[in-house]
Structure 1
């Protein structure tokens, strides 16, 4: 049985897998040899994901509604737990497309709507998926992916800068609070817009594509030198194809889990 098909091999969960960046994260994980549970709304984008990676035995899809609150997140966590495969990592790529316009021209309720759509779902997901990660007998990672201009105002997209800044603070708080659970929480801060099929005609040369962002996010699983950082800036250096797969790391983890279970039964 191949490693990717082994139900005991820890896998990675991707929230927002049907989005552009989520697509790139899924591709980078499969490229690195990780089993992937791709979570997203049923529809054309998830169908396209399944079709693109049709020959990848390590990919599994879970169609689920968008996370809005604790109830949605709790339902998702239960669905994941029922599948029986241990998790080694969660990648959260959730958010709504930015809408242009000055904040001063919008009612105050608009910013509240953006926070409810682009920030609160991340907190709800973390509240229920971090404990799930902590149940495993292995080191675990929770990677948030943040958008551009969170450290300075984005002209015409001020609401995205405000919600992005809030995401950075959320990541720092979760990084500290999840330490006791044995889970490393980090935010990959992508300080440039991501080049997508929709904006490619106007994209600048330095804009990363989704796979480059995905590779950088996946690199956080093995970059021990960055373990203490809650915020990790995106870098093209981390977007190169992997030199080795994650399979060896997963195999070591699998043996560790098996050993822990043997020990547990022996001491029972």
Structure 2
């Protein structure tokens, strides 16, 4: 029988086998003396509602949400934190002792923290290009809108989804461009952020021509499996500065850990070594 003090948390997604979240959270639980376990749970879209109820029944402290559930999970939650409501996406859920579920979004926090710690001098005098229109794209766009950039450009294969983000959070400072125009926009961007799963193991690479970008352009890919995606490999070959998605994963995880356990953990040398070992 599980001890009442045993804490459980998880990440749910479809697929979820690639997730490194258990490495991160189990490390922090050990460091902070929390008896418990963080696990991966594969949840097919049609089973999302029952998965939430199952975790409530089993006494989970909370869970992370990854693709494709970040938006779909909202109807199954009791409350949304303001940032999650504004983004229209959830990546972290807290389950109170009475079973009440609250959705949060820490993606934007993680994305910007990773960028600031990796390249604090990234260009802010030119537009940023956000590729994609899912929950991570919303997080990226909202975070970048607070960075006093001239404006943020968003592009997606399905233009209507990009338009919805611009309408919901754009505040008149977001421009939507057709997918076929993405290469032209990349020429003038100071920051390019891929928020899609293109480039992930098993997926096609993102087709984006960055060969004529300015030398100080930063290319940021939130995909971390592989750590160096085809897009980042091309950017490095061209001499452009790059940011991998691993730091975003860690910093958004730290904010989630704080939500569940009221402790803000650190990205320490031991955790960095554990994560680096995964990619060796």
Give the alignment's TM-score, normalised by structure 1. Answer: 0.41
Specify which structure has the bigger relative contact order, considering alpha-carbon pairs within 8 angstroms and separated by 6 or more residues.
1
Give the alignment's TM-score, normalised by structure 2. Answer: 0.40
Q: Quick check: which one's strand share is greater?
A: 2
Q: Quick check: which one's helix share is greater?
A: 1
